[in-house]
Chain A
Amino acid sequence: MAHLDIPKTYKLFIGGQFPRTESGRSFSLENAEGGTIANLCQASRKDFRNSVAVARKAQAGWADRAAFNRSQILYRLAEMLDGRRAQLVEELNFQGISSVDAEKEVCASVDRLVYYAGWCDKYQQVSGTVNPVASSHFNFSVPEPMGVVGILAPDEFGLLGLVSLFAPVIVGGNTCVILASESKPMCSITFAEVAATSDVPAGVINILTGFREELVPHFATHMDVNSIVYAGDNDPDVKILQEGSALNLKRVRIHRGVDWISSSSQGPQFILECQETKTTWHPVEVIKPKTGGY
C-alpha cells in the first residue's frame, strides 16, 4: 500500500518553540531540476527581534551553569545529532550535496560538537591569566561571555557551517540568534529539532531561515545584540554589518574563505572571539613575615 508523503513544514526555532514567522511568509527551496523540496519560513525583522529577546532572557542562566554542565549538554547534543545522521544526509542530498560529501559533512558536524563540548571547561584555562602586578593585589583576567551573539551562517555547508559557528559561541556562555544558510537551510531546522529535544535550554540557540538582504541590516543595528559572527564573502553585507554595529559597538567577526570541513577550522580562537576579558583586582594583605605583625 503506497504511503502518501507528508510534506514537512520547516518552521523557525525561537525560544525552544517552533513558531511560524509572524509575517506569515514562506519561501520554496528548489532542487537542481526546479522541483520544490520544501517550504521554509521567511523570517522577518520581528522574528529576529523576538529571537533576540528570548536569547537575552536565556543568557544569564546559561552562563551561570557550571562549565562541566554546559560541556555535558553539548556532548548530549552531539549524541542526538549523530542519531539523526541518515535524515541529515538525505536532506543535504536533496539540497544538491553528493552522498559522499553529505556523509562527510554530517560526521564532521557531529565531531565538531564533540570537539567543542570538551572545550567548555578548558578555554578559561587557556586564555585566563594571573597578572603579576607591582602592587599588593591578586590580579587575574578571565574570559566572560559577551551576551547575545548574532550569527550569519555561511551559505555553503548548511549544517556544518551552522554548527561550526554556534558551538564555540554557546560553549562560552553566550546565547545566539542564527540566520541559517540561505541556499541550504533545511538541515538548520532539522538541527533545531535536535536542539529542542536535547538539554540545551530554550532560547540559547535560536534559528531563523530567510533572506540575508532582508535581515542583515537588522542584525547590524539591533541595540541588544553584543556581537556578530559572519561567515561568507559578501562585501556589501560585511560593510552593512560593520557600519550598523557602530551604533552600539558590537564586536564583529568576519570569517572569509574558511574550509569548514577542515579540522583547522576549529579551535579556542572561535570561542574567544566572543568573549570579553574581565580583569579583577583583589587586595592581598601583607603582614611582614619577619616580625609577624604590626
Chain B
Amino acid sequence: MEHKLNYNDLWAYAPAPEDSGHVNIRDRYGLFLNGRFQDADSGKTFETHNPATEVRLSEVAFAGETDVDAAVKAARNAFDKSWNPMPPADRGKYLFRIARMIQERSREFAVAETLDGGKPIKESRDIDIPLAAAHFFYYAGWADKLEHAFPTRAVTPMGVAGQIIPWNFPLLMAAWKIAPALACGNTVVLKPAEATPLTALKLAEVIQDAGLPDGVVNILTGDGSTGAALVNHPGIDKVAFTGSTAVGKLIQNSIAGSHKKATLELGGKAANIILDDAPLNQAVEGIINGIFFNQGHVCCAGSRLLVQEGVADEVIAKLKDRLETLRVGDPMDKNTDIGAINSREQLNTIEGYLKLGQEEGAQIHQPECSLPEKGYWCRPTLFLNATQSHRIVQEEIFGPVLAIQTFRSVDEAIEMANNTPYGLSAGIWTDKGSRIFNLTRRLRAGVVWANTYNQFDPTSPFGGYKESGFGREGGLHGLEPYVNFD
C-alpha cells in the first residue's frame, strides 16, 4: 500500500484541559489507620509527583513496621469486634455507600488519578473510576448472599487481609482488593503503590465519610519495605498482591509454611492473534487498545501481535496509519490518547527495551509526534519482524511497545502464543465463530478476548495461568479467595 493518508494539522484540536480547580489534594496525608489519618510512627514521609510535569503533588506518610503492626492489630480488632459480628446485609450497605460516594466524587477521583499516575483523563474518567465504583457496587450485593455462592459449603471469613496494589490502576486495584474482602467479612490493610498513593488516600476519606467502623479498612502508604512488613506480619491471614511476577514469587516464598493464603495477579506477555479472515479495521483498533491503553502499563496488555501472513502487510500498514492519529501528551487534556509514563524508573526500563529490541534486530517504528519537554514520555512503538526468541517478545515491558510477529497456521499461532511462562490473557480476531472457540479453548490464559481487547467488568473473573499468578478477581469466582471453607 503506497498511498498514505494525510494527517496534517489543518484542523488542530485546541487544548481541552480537564478542570482541576475543584479537586482537593491535601498538602500532606497521614496513614489511614484505625479510622483516623495519622503520621507514621517514625514521622517519615515521602513525596508523590505528577509524572507529566514532575511537579510535587503531596507528601504522604511512610509506614514502617510499627505502623504495619498497629494497622494489623486495628484490623484484627475491627474484625473481632465490629465487622465479622455485623449482620451481612449491613456490611453490604456500607459497600453500597462507598460505591455511591465514589460515583458522587467521580470527577475528583479521575483528576487525582490522572495527576498522580499520568494516565489520560478520558481513561480515568471513563474506565478507572466508573469500574471502581461498579466493583464496590457488585460485591456489596454479595455480602448477604454468600451461602448462594457456595451452596453446599459453610464459609467463614479469613480474618485480616494484607493487600498490596500496583501503580497502573491505583483506585481500581484498591476496589478489586477491598470490595470482595469486605463483602466476605474480612478486614483489610492495604498498601498502595509508592508512586500513586493519592486515590487510595482519597478512598480512605470516602471510607471515613461512609462511616465504616474504625479499623475495617486501613491504608498504609510506603514502599516495598512496607509491603514486605505487611506480608510477613504474623497477624494477617491472607495476602492479596497485584504486581510483578518477581515480587509475587518472593511473596509465595516468604509465606511458605505459614497459615497465610495468597492470591497473586502478576505479569503477562499476551498474544493478540489476528487471523486472515478477521474484521481488520476493528482488529486494528483492538491492537491499539490492547497495547496502548494506559501507556501499555497493563499486566494483560496485548504486547505480542501475532498476525497471519496473508494479511500481515495490510495490518501493519493500517497500524502505522493509526499511530499517526494517536494523541500523545498532557494527560489532563480530554483528547489525549497516550499519557505520561508513570515514573522515571519505568521510562528507563522501557527505553532499555527499545534499545534492546533494535540490537536484537527488530525494526522500530514510531510516529513523529512531538512530546512535552517536562515529564516522562514514550512514543507508541511497533517492533516489526520480531522473533519468538527476542527478549522483547519474551519479557514483559510494561510500556507502549508492541512486538509484531507473523504466523502461517492457527496451530502455529497457538503454539507461539502459549510459548511463554505467562498466561494472563490473549486476544483472538476472526470472523468465524467456531474458530474463535477453538482458539479460546486452546490458549493457556485466564482471560481470552475474542474480537475485542482489554474489557473489564466486575462480574467477570480475571486472573492468570502459570507465572501470571493464581486466584481470580471479579465475579463469583472472586469471592473464593476471601473465604475459608469449614
Contact = CB atoms under 8 A, between A and B. Distances in A.
Nearest to A133: B457
Nearest to B266: A249
A141 B245 contact: no
Given A248-B467, A269-B485, A280 B452 contact: no
Contact of A242 (B256, B465, B470): B256
Interface stretch (B109-117, B342-350, B443-451): B443-451
B446 A248 contact: no
B476 A249 contact: no
A129 B466 contact: no
B252 A133 contact: no
A279 B19 CA distance: 38
B450 A139 contact: no
A146 B464 CA distance: 11
A95 interface: no
A188 B469 CA distance: 33
B6 interface: no
Nearest to B153: A269
A277 B469 contact: no
Contact of B257 (A133, A139, A243, A282): A243
Interface residues of A, number: 33
Nearest to B131: A134
Interface string A196-221: 00000000000000000000000000
Given A133-B459, A249-B264, A277 B249 contact: no
B460 A133 contact: yes
A133 B446 contact: no
Contacts of A22: none
Nearest to B462: A279
A17 interface: no
Contact of B475 (A131, A245, A247, A251): A131
Contacts of A235: 257
Interface in B400-459: 421, 436, 440, 445-452, 455, 457, 459
A239 interface: yes
A67 to B, nearest CB: 13
Chain A interface, >50% SS class: mixed
Interface in A233-270: 235, 238-239, 241-243, 245-249, 251, 267, 269
A141 B476 CA distance: 10
Given A249-B248, A279-B447, A131 B257 contact: no
B477 interface: yes
A68 B447 CA distance: 26
B459 A131 contact: yes
Contact of A249 (B256, B461, B467): B467
B472 interface: yes
B369 interface: no
Contacts of B475: 129, 131, 141, 279
A141 B257 contact: no
B249 A249 contact: yes
Contacts of A129: 461, 475-477
Interface residues of B, number: 43
B449 A281 contact: yes
A246 B249 contact: yes
Contacts of B451: 282-283
B257 A132 contact: no
B436 A282 contact: yes
Given A131-B461, A133-B455, A248-B467, A278 B446 contact: yes
B356 interface: no
B30 interface: no
Nearest to B433: A282
B447 to A, nearest CB: 5
Contacts of A21: none
Nearest to B150: A269
A280 B442 CA distance: 12
A280 B248 CA distance: 25
Given A251-B470, A280-B450, A135 B455 contact: yes
A134 B458 CA distance: 9
A238 to B, nearest CB: 6
Interface string B243-265: 00100111111011100000010
A251 B469 CA distance: 9
Contacts of A101: none
B463 interface: yes
Contacts of A280: 440, 447-448, 450
A269 B483 CA distance: 14
Contacts of A49: none
A232 to B, nearest CB: 14
A83 B462 CA distance: 45
Given A131-B461, A141-B477, A251-B470, A242 B450 contact: no
A283 B251 CA distance: 37
B461 A141 contact: yes
Contacts of B465: 146, 276
A139 B256 contact: no
Contacts of A238: 256-257
A108 B477 CA distance: 32
B250 A246 contact: yes
B245 A249 contact: yes
Nearest to A242: B256
Contacts of A281: 447-450, 452, 455, 460
A249 B470 contact: yes
A241 to B, nearest CB: 8
Given A129-B475, A278-B448, A249 B457 contact: no
11 contacts: A131-B457, A133-B455, A134-B457, A137-B452, A139-B457, A246-B250, A248-B467, A249-B470, A276-B465, A278-B447, A281-B450
Interface of B: 134, 152-153, 245, 248-253, 255-257, 264, 266, 421, 436, 440, 445-452, 455, 457, 459-463, 465-467, 469-470, 472, 475-477, 485
Interface of A: 129, 131-135, 137, 139, 141, 146, 226, 235, 238-239, 241-243, 245-249, 251, 267, 269, 276-283
Given A133-B459, A141-B477, A278-B446, 14 more contacts: A131-B460, A133-B457, A135-B455, A141-B461, A242-B256, A246-B251, A248-B466, A248-B467, A277-B446, A277-B477, A279-B446, A279-B448, A280-B447, A282-B436
Instruction: State the 10 A-B residue pairs at the shortest beta-carbon distance, nearest first.
Output: A239-B257, A242-B256, A133-B457, A246-B252, A246-B253, A243-B256, A131-B459, A131-B460, A246-B249, A281-B449
